[in-house]
Chain A
Amino acid sequence: MSLLIAFASFRTRSDAGNIFFYKHDGVSKGELLEPLPTESPRRRSDYRPSLCADGRLCAFAIQYREVVPGELRLWDMRAKKLLTLPDRNKSGSDAQPAMSGDGRWMAFCGWQRPGGLGAHDLFLYDLKENRLVDLPNLNTEYDEQAPALSQDGRWLAYITNRPLSGAGFPGMARICLYDRSTGQDVPLPGMAMPPFRDCEPSLSGDGRYLAFTSHRPDPDGSEGPGSIYLYDRSAAAFVALPGLNSASHDCQPSLSPGGRFLAFTSERFDGMGQRDLYLYDIKTRKLLPTPGLNHASEEFEASIAVLDPAMDRL
């Protein structure tokens, strides 16, 4: 098996998510693995898994039914145990964890977290040093959310509603790319299409490819729900994804570290439930069969790791 996919599903508890794992050969075969154990099955919802590149670690978010803010967890896949995350958010919620490919960094979104500038802000844990590190110039009085990291954590894609002019009322969500080496956002020429909303970024390991969901009109001019786009930073152009998008809502893309595979969520008709997961091979431009992956309930928020990096070259 070449790929490991972590995802959230309501298949065991209709009102609370669990994290599941699925191995795939990168061609047509796959198998469902044991789900991630939950501490208190009836009270806690687990969701938004994020794997590091080789699948050693899986970060995820949890939410209790009680009036308790959301928290983050980090699961060691080999030792099958939770690892300690320091510095819990004592005033708000943490969510949307995103692992770097090398497993050293975990970005996340904090709601009203001390040290933030607005309501939703981005933070970065150094898991080697067990401490938060600064992200100079990134957070603003507006909302920054949905982080995605490259292999070494240098590149951080995120969404913000800060207005293009830099001041005034918040606007439509758009995607930015932050370079930790300079502490600045870098231009993404030709990518944004105001006033249409872009969200849910995912980066390849080298930060060259950026997949995201957009509500812009499709290339044929049709105005449907969300569709998935792939932007190549080196060419400053979009990569065609023939056969990937449907007339239904396609969203939550997750690029494999090498950028060849793309898992995503869709509400299309041929699915098992309302939301199902699909796996697309960007190299062969085909949707791959994923036997046993989906269920009559809902599957969403996939994250891909690669067990055989040779398979993952574009």
Chain B
Amino acid sequence: MLRVGSAVERNCRGASRREILQVGGASALGLSLTDALRAEAAPSAGSAAADSVILIWLAGGPSQHETFDPKPDQPAEVRGPYGPIETNVSGIQICSLLPQLARVADKYTIIRSLTHGNPNHGYAPMLNGGSEHQTCYGAVVSKMLGGRGPMPPFIHLGGKIPMDAGTLGAAHNPIEIADPTRGEVNIPDSRPPARVDAGRMERRLRLIESFDLLRAQVETNNVLQARDSSYQRAVELLTRPEVRAAFDLTREPQKLRDRYGASIFGQSCLMARRLVEAGTRFIQIQWTERGGGGWDTHGTVLSGILEMEQYLCPRFDQAMATLLRDLEEKGLLKKTLIVAIAEFGRTPQINNRAGRDHWPHVFSAFVAGGGTPGGTVIGSSDPRGAYPANRPVGPGDLAATLYKIVGLNPLVEDRLKPFARGEIVHELQ
């Protein structure tokens, strides 16, 4: 496992800083590297609609009412203060906090009937498909399909997610980039810490310079060389010209970088598109910030759901709409599955802090690309947005569908069954 950068994870349980560049055990990293290199010649899955996946984890759990399932006909304490907006698909309304996504609704599907029973923050069941294995989607895809080209098969962007390859082994853990907008580098296990001198750090130092620094450290630091040759090999992988270039956001036109937004999330989406273009099989983005309460909008940091209006929805709206357009303009949307999910949704009733609390019984997901239909809504919630009204979709169903779209059929492949025990959502195929 290799991590670059640092970021803060945050929800109502508190915040923690996750450091930064870590190298897993020698054998683990060696396998990961070997797999990545071996995968250069690996064929893509035969029946796959999608060659790559961008999975977006909206940490904290967005309100369905203030995103994709507005309830304007409900009382004020249910509907919230933000009215709906018409989309470019007749009959589909979303929350008015997402005006740019409203204009590209023909490119994505909304699932409005996701449901499970766990009201606590965590990555199960939504990131492991409800499996008993603590194994995330990306690791399963990495294990089953390997990589495409020279790129590592599984890359994570944003604050660390403590659910990785689990029983599949550390070889399928992701390479982790904590913040694509910064170049902060630390190697926790080295003595003394090989931290970039703060005086040398310019604002928004390019991530790519961090890779150069890593390489220089490996070449000049005998202690590191003696300690962990796998570290050197990992750096070797990341500093290969074609791989290095995939991480270099400065190669993008400034205007396009602006369109994605300067937020960590916006630039993570842009990097995801570059990684797809370079052949990365699975990119996982965790919503990451430098302050605030994230999507966990109980009303404990700013009043109520004000965070949705101030920065959460604007950042999400700008980056996602741009990602869809950008992938389409580059001819990549049809072969790239994009899924945005979270651990749960929010309560239908607004609390006395004008916020909403955890609610797993019904919430929404965003799905686009990879041959999925656009301009569609699957399932519906009841009038208050409290429970599925029809077509309930569970975490296992979403998992089975995701794997099917990338060419792994959980109905026929025994090795996949432990990770996808639901039914395929056929409307998404």
Give the size of the chain A interface in residues (CB under 8 angstroms): 66
Stretch of A31-39, A60-68, A75-83, A148-156 that contacts chain B? A60-68
Stretch of A184-192, A201-209, A232-240, A264-272 that contacts chain B? A264-272
Give the size of the chain B interface in residues (CB under 8 angstroms): 56
Stretch of A50-58, A128-136, A169-177, A306-314 that contacts chain B? A169-177
Q: A16-B301, A70-B354, A267-B263 are in contact. Are A247 and B292 (CB under 8 A)?
A: no
- A112 near B352: Cβ-Cβ < 8 Å: yes
Interface residues in B283-301 (C-beta closer than 8 Å to A) = 289-293, 299-301
A-B contact count (CB 8 A): 175
- B76 near A142: Cβ-Cβ < 8 Å: yes
The listed residue (A70, A111, A267) touching B262 by CB distance below 8 A is: A267
- B300 near A45: Cβ-Cβ < 8 Å: yes
B103 CB contacts on chain A under 8 angstroms: 223
User: With A and B bound together, what is the CA distance between A143 and B79 in angstroms?
Assistant: 11
Output the nearest chain B residue to A225 by Cβ-Cβ distance: B318
A63 CB contacts on chain B under 8 angstroms: 299-303, 353
Shortest C-beta distance, B329 to chain A (Å), equals 15
User: With A and B bound together, what is the CA distance between A118 and B78 in angstroms?
Assistant: 12
Q: A70-B299, A172-B83, A272-B203 are in contact. Are A297 and B290 (CB under 8 A)?
A: yes
B422 interface residue (CB < 8 Å to A) = no
B290 CB contacts on chain A under 8 angstroms: 10, 14, 273-274, 296-298
Q: A14-B15, A119-B77 are in contact. Are A70 and B263 (CB under 8 A)?
A: no
Q: A10-B290, A275-B311 are in contact. Are A248 and B258 (CB under 8 A)?
A: yes
- B259 near A68: Cβ-Cβ < 8 Å: no
Shortest C-beta distance, A302 to chain B (Å), equals 13
User: With A and B bound together, what is the CA distance between A64 and B306 in angstroms?
Assistant: 15
A226 CB contacts on chain B under 8 angstroms: 314
User: With A and B bound together, what is the CA distance between A162 and B310 in angstroms?
Assistant: 20
The listed residue (A64, A267, A297) touching B315 by CB distance below 8 A is: A267
- B354 near A14: Cβ-Cβ < 8 Å: no
- A224 near B301: Cβ-Cβ < 8 Å: no
B204 interface residue (CB < 8 Å to A) = yes
A247 CB contacts on chain B under 8 angstroms: 255, 258-259
User: With A and B bound together, what is the CA distance between A301 and B401 in angstroms?
Assistant: 43
Output the nearest chain A residue to B355 by Cβ-Cβ distance: A93
B199 interface residue (CB < 8 Å to A) = no
B261 CB contacts on chain A under 8 angstroms: 225, 248-249, 267
The listed residue (A9, A16, A67, A215) touching B99 by CB distance below 8 A is: A215
The listed residue (B83, B299, B301) touching A170 by CB distance below 8 A is: B83
User: With A and B bound together, what is the CA distance between A76 and B149 in angstroms?
Assistant: 64
User: With A and B bound together, what is the CA distance between A23 and B117 in angstroms?
Assistant: 52
A171 CB contacts on chain B under 8 angstroms: 83
A68 CB contacts on chain B under 8 angstroms: 353
The listed residue (A9, A93, A196, A252) touching B304 by CB distance below 8 A is: A93
User: Which A positions have Cβ atoms within 8 angstroms of B?
Assistant: 9-11, 14-17, 45, 47-48, 61, 63-70, 91-93, 95-96, 111-112, 118-120, 141-143, 145, 161, 169-173, 195-197, 199, 215, 223-226, 246-249, 251-252, 267-269, 271-275, 296-298, 300
Known: A170-B72, A249-B311. 11 other contacts (CB 8 A): A14-B291, A16-B301, A64-B300, A95-B306, A111-B352, A112-B354, A169-B72, A268-B258, A269-B204, A269-B254, A274-B291
A-B contact pairs, 17 of them (CB 8 A): A9-B291, A15-B10, A17-B302, A47-B303, A63-B303, A66-B300, A68-B353, A69-B353, A70-B304, A70-B354, A91-B352, A93-B304, A95-B354, A111-B352, A172-B85, A199-B309, A224-B259
Q: Which 7 A-B pairs have the closest CB atoms?
A: A10-B291, A119-B76, A247-B258, A95-B303, A143-B81, A111-B354, A169-B72
